[in-house]
A and B are shown apart, each in its own frame.
Chain A
Amino acid sequence: MNEWVARFFGLGAVAAPALLLAVFGLSTFFTRRLGEKAMARWTAACVSYGLFSVVGMLLAMLWTGDREVPVEIGDWVALPAEGFHFRLKFLFDRLSVPFAALTFVLVGVTGAFADRYLHREPGYRRFFLYFAVFLLGMVVASLAGTIETLFLGWELVGLASALLVAFFHERAAPVFNAQRIWTVYRFSDAAFLIAALTLHHLSGAGDFATLTGSGPWPASRPTIAPGPALGIGLLLLLAAAGKSALVPFSGWLPRAMEGPTPSSAVFYGALSVHLGAYLLLRVDPILKASPPLCACVVAIGAATAVFGVVVGRVQTDVKTALAYASLTQVGVITAEIGLGFRYLALVHIIGHACQRTLQFLRSPSLLQDYRVLENALGGPIPHVAGIAERRFPAELRRRLYRFGLERGRLDEALDRFLVRPFVRAFRWCDGMERRWTDFLSGGRRPHHDHDHDRPRRHAAVPQSSPDGEALS
């Protein structure tokens, strides 16, 4: 393919969301604020241009028969004498192009929906600013040609996700849930970064091309030894599990439903929740190099799917039920990847994302839809007994029901074994430090208003999370 054509379409796909973020960011901090109409138009224009670029690239690839088109921006940082390079490189292939196109389509649809849904909301600008961060993160992550570039996008998606969950930040629950999500994301990001740097250390570069050796996706062959592949792969699986809410990190997914419906749709129904699966598809050569790793991927995927089915059945609000339905499908997709069905997984991702976005966006009208349905049927919708009701003994059903209602106690386990010991240990250290400082200063310690228990000024916000101990 002509290099100029590749650069025109390739850079256009990345530049459009970058421009959108720059415009929204600059207008927020440095110039006068944009109005709702202007923000909606900017979003529509940039998303359209990004989609045009990706489709243009796809057509050019089909025309020329190229299956893999790298677009190099160059070294972001390079110390050639030390062999240190941080390259910004984007890769257009059979995996990234459909995912990037899907991103633009769903973000465009959700953006148009949100423009009306959040009309005259005080947080309208904030929503679209975070939305622009998310779009840039998703596009960079899907088109990344190096693992470092993928990490860059990955982090942006995580930040936007957490901030949007806390969109209604005058209430306590969204804030606590956002903190929980951010915590899971940060630790999965840490696993990702360690994996990326180890990979960089082993292969001398973070390029997927170097990693995959030869052949475009999914025919790429591994060049990494089975031992390191297992270690790095497990770290990447941890990162993917955190991002896609796979077991044992599934507890954050229903919490994320506190955000506004458009963000729930695009993040947890469509794109963000599939990013972990996308990562596993992208590092496919590592999976090929290590059968035990594939087994782990299948096991986690299957466990997540079963967990999603059991818990999703007993949810009482539509968004949470949809979240667990998403989780079930993501689990199945992960298992497919582990079993080696790459194309099937990709098609599954695209289909599931589109269907789930539609369901999420329609969810605020669910009661109305039911009413229409019941009117048409002339009575209540008949209840049909499922497999569990027909085949499972009552005791097992009761146990499963309780398991589902308590959401597998996954969050409680994390709280009990990780969060509380951590907070207690450091609070103890804090207390000891204060005593030591008091001793050194002769018992004269500074007193501030908040050293004493005073009535809270903000009664609307409780001190601890309704779902467990908060870090504060």
Chain B
Amino acid sequence: MNTIRLPWLEMAILAPALGSIWVKFRRDPEVARGHALAIGGLSLALTMAAWVDFKLLGGRDASGPWPFSALGLGAPPLAVDELNAPLMPLGALLYLLTILGTLRTKFREFSLPRTLASESILLALFAASTSWGVASMMALSVAPRYLELASNRLPCRVYLIHMGMFIAFLVLGELGVERGSGPGDQPVWAILLLTLAMLIRGGAAPFHCWMTDLFERATFGTALLFVTPMTAAFGVARLVVPVAPTWDLRMISVLSLATAIYAAGMALVQRDARRFFCYLFLSHSSLVLVGIETATPIGLTGSLSLWLSVSLSLTGFGLVLRCVEARVGRISLAEFLGLYQQIPTLAGLFLLTGLASVGFPGTAGFISIEMIVEAAMETMPVVGALVVIMTALNGLAVIRVYFQIFAGRSDSSSIDLRIRRPERIAVVVTSLLIFGGGLWPQWGVEGRYHAALRLLETRSGSGERADAREPMGRSAAIRRAADGGGDRTQGLPSAPTATAFGFK
């Protein structure tokens, strides 16, 4: 039976893009906010529909209708697969919650049209089915933040220098990889440039200063939305993993681990809440890359799960910090603010989201970190131990900041500082998802496991160099299949071909 299929992805991307223009011409900030929320909600619904559609199709024919194939315009530029299916709703949700948690007083600095445009770019980036599509959207996503800094007349040289390097390396790397005659033939310099581009975008040390600078200068919401979807990890999964030899992955792994530990230590000594948040985020986003580079099904599954949980919990954590900042201004960690008496609910939510971000038992990150450590223990036990120490340091940092902000004795405020309903909804929704993912993790982990297997297939499918990557680059699943020991993907939905990840 023929069925009519709706172009969910295209609609999800177009909705915030057109909405951005629409909202720009709304004069009343409250009306603009209402419309932005409606558009964000619509976008979230459409991405959810795309995910459901993908699931209903059993992973096949995941791209939307593309009428131009007959005209020789090639494959559809957008597609859903195991990797990006949950990332798009996640991205849309992060934007929706951030807009929801934005108070009216912030609208002059936090531009709603620009935020919706960024959302559109992010969704297009996640949905892109070609390597150039991913690269161009990654490059384009830099622009809205620059425009914000420029429009607020804030210095943006640090940001421009780093993002300029990122775009240059990305484009050169992609051009170089394209020049390779076939799978496994890509020039080393091109792979290195691509890797470097992703490390800069992800904020790996010593290329992380742009991130602290952005957090210090831009609005909290903008900085939050730029980093929490972790597009660098997406870039690594899409552009680097399919072509990278083992040594390259190991290099990323070592740098990411060093960054994770360094950032955890730095988070512990910060005196400014935004810088603290930035380092906490850096530490966790680097951990996601450590897991990706273990290149084992368990490590990759843990990493992809951690990606979702960290995005969610740190967005929630960031939103709580932003709520506190909206009440007392920039938060100093050099003194006790004593805010517990005035905003006890925010204190509780701060603790909850903060502990979730460090993978406390019962929250979404717990299982993910355990999987990463378990995978690391198999490949390199020292890495496992270091990851555990890193999470311990982050736990200390979160509790320390909790006490700095909420402990102490403060003068009572003459105005009501209690959490507002939209803020409460935003943070409580995040908390519920964090707990849901923590108490019932199987469904999410299973989905990420399928994505991890597909990702590993792309590595094994990249020709002779893949064989040279033994033993790290070749997954246990593939090895078992090659040995005739059974196919681990049996029973899984017949998934999109390797082109969905590797583009080769």
Q: Are B388 and A437 in contact (CB under 8 A)?
A: no
Segment at the B interface, from A75-83, A102-110, A351-359, A390-398:
A75-83
Would you call B388 and A194 a contact (CB within 8 A)? yes
Task: Tell whether, in the assembled complex, residue A170 and residue B338 are in contact, meaning their CB atoms are under 8 Å apart.
Answer: yes
Q: Are the C-beta atoms of B157 and A458 separated by less than 8 Å? A: no
How many Å lie between the Cα of A172 and that of B403 in the bound state? 10
Measured CA separation A450–B446 after assembly (Å): 46
A462 to B: closest C-beta gap in Å = 9
CB <8 Å contact, A457 and B410: yes
Whole-angstrom distance between the alpha carbons of A170 and B408 in the complex? 4
How many A residues are at the interface, by size bracket?
Answer: 35 or more
Contact partners of A79 in chain B: CB under 8 A: 297-298, 301, 445-446, 449
| B175, CB-defined interface residue at 8 Å | no
**B498 contacts chain A at the CB level, 8 A cutoff:** no
Q: Give chain A's interface secondary structure class.
A: helix
Q: For residue A449, which residues in chain B have a CB less than 8 angstroms away from its CB?
A: 329-330, 332
- Residues in B with CB closer than 8 Å to A433 are 209, 212, 266
Q: Which of B301, B333, B335, B384 contacts A194 (CB 8 A)?
A: B384
User: Given the known A-B contacts A458-B336, A471-B400, are A442 and B330 also in contact in the complex, defined by CB atoms under 8 Å?
Assistant: no
For B333, the chain A residues whose CB sits under 8 A away are 472
Q: Say whether A436 faces chain B, with CB atoms less than 8 Å apart.
A: yes
Cβ contacts under 8 Å, B403 to chain A: 166, 169, 175, 178-179
| Contact between A458 and B335, CB atoms less than 8 A apart | yes
Instruction: Please name the residue on chain A nearest to B374 by beta carbon.
Output: A197
| Residues of chain B contacted by A190 (CB below 8 angstroms) | 388-389, 391-392
Whether B334 contacts A463 by the Cβ 8 Å rule is: yes
How far does the alpha carbon of A175 sit from the alpha carbon of B446 in the complex, in Å? 41
Interface check B7, CB cutoff 8 A = no
- Known A446-B216, A449-B332, A463-B334; judge A197-B373 contact (CB<8 A): yes
Contact in complex: B377, A472 (CB < 8 Å)? no
Which of A30, A76, A187, A472 is the one whose CB lies under 8 Å from B392? Answer: A187
Say yes or no: A186 contacts B396, CB within 8 Å: yes
**Is A460 in contact with B385, judged by CB distance below 8 angstroms?**
no
> Does A365 lie at the interface of the complex (its beta carbon under 8 Å from any beta carbon of B)?
no
Residue-by-residue, is A220-243 near B (CB-CB < 8 Å gives 1, otherwise 0)?
A: 000000000000000000000000
Given contacts A201-B378, A472-B333, A472-B334, is CB(A437)–CB(B158) below 8 Å?
Answer: yes
Residues on A with beta carbons closer than 8 Å to the beta carbon of B360 = 155, 159
Report chain B residues within 8 Å CB of A427: 269
Are A440 and B161 in contact, with the CB atoms below 8 A?
yes
Residue of B158, B341, B391 most packed against chain A (CB within 10 A) = B158
State how many angstroms separate the Cβ of B234 from the closest Cβ of chain A: 23
Residues 392-446 of B at the A interface (beta carbon under 8 Å) = 392-393, 395-396, 399-400, 403-404, 406-411, 428, 431, 441-442, 445-446
For the complex, give the distance between the alpha carbons of A442 and B329 in Å. Answer: 26
State whether A458 touches B337 (Cβ < 8 A): yes
Q: How far is the CA of A179 from the CA of B361 in the complex (A)?
A: 20
Q: Which of B157, B217, B298, B399 lies in contact with A82, CB distance below 8 A?
A: B298
B223 at interface (Cβ–Cβ under 8 A)? Answer: no
* Assembly CA distance A429 to B399 (angstroms): 22
Binary contact track A441-468/B, C-beta < 8 Å → 1, others 0: 1101110111000001110110100000
B258 at the interface (CB under 8 A from A): no
A89 at interface, CB cutoff 8 A: no
Shortest distance in angstroms between A124's beta carbon and chain B's nearest beta carbon? 13
Known: A179-B403, A194-B384, A427-B269. A450 touches B332 (CB 8 A): yes
CA distance A200 to B431 in the complex (A): 30
Q: Does A28 contact B (CB under 8 A)?
A: yes
CA distance A75 to B271 in the complex (A): 42
Tell me which residues across on chain A come within 8 A of B373, comparing CB atoms.
Answer: 193, 197
Sample of 17 further A-B pairs with CB below 8 A, known A84-B298, A151-B361, A460-B408: A79-B445, A82-B301, A148-B370, A156-B362, A170-B407, A175-B403, A175-B408, A182-B395, A186-B393, A193-B370, A201-B378, A426-B268, A430-B269, A442-B155, A449-B329, A457-B410, A463-B335
The list of the 5 closest CB pairs from A to B, nearest first, reads: A450-B332, A169-B407, A461-B336, A186-B392, A190-B392
List 30 A–B pairs whose Cβ atoms lie within 8 Å, in order of A's numbering: A28-B345, A75-B442, A77-B442, A82-B301, A82-B476, A84-B298, A86-B367, A122-B341, A151-B361, A152-B361, A159-B360, A162-B399, A169-B407, A179-B396, A190-B391, A190-B392, A193-B370, A193-B388, A194-B385, A197-B374, A198-B377, A427-B269, A433-B266, A437-B158, A437-B212, A441-B213, A450-B330, A450-B332, A471-B269, A471-B396
Residues of A in contact with B (beta carbons under 8 Å apart): 28-30, 75-79, 81-82, 84, 86, 122, 148, 151-152, 155-156, 159, 162, 166, 169-170, 172, 175, 178-179, 182-183, 186-187, 189-190, 193-194, 197-198, 200-201, 422-423, 425-427, 429-430, 433, 436-437, 440-442, 444-446, 448-450, 456-458, 460-461, 463, 471-472
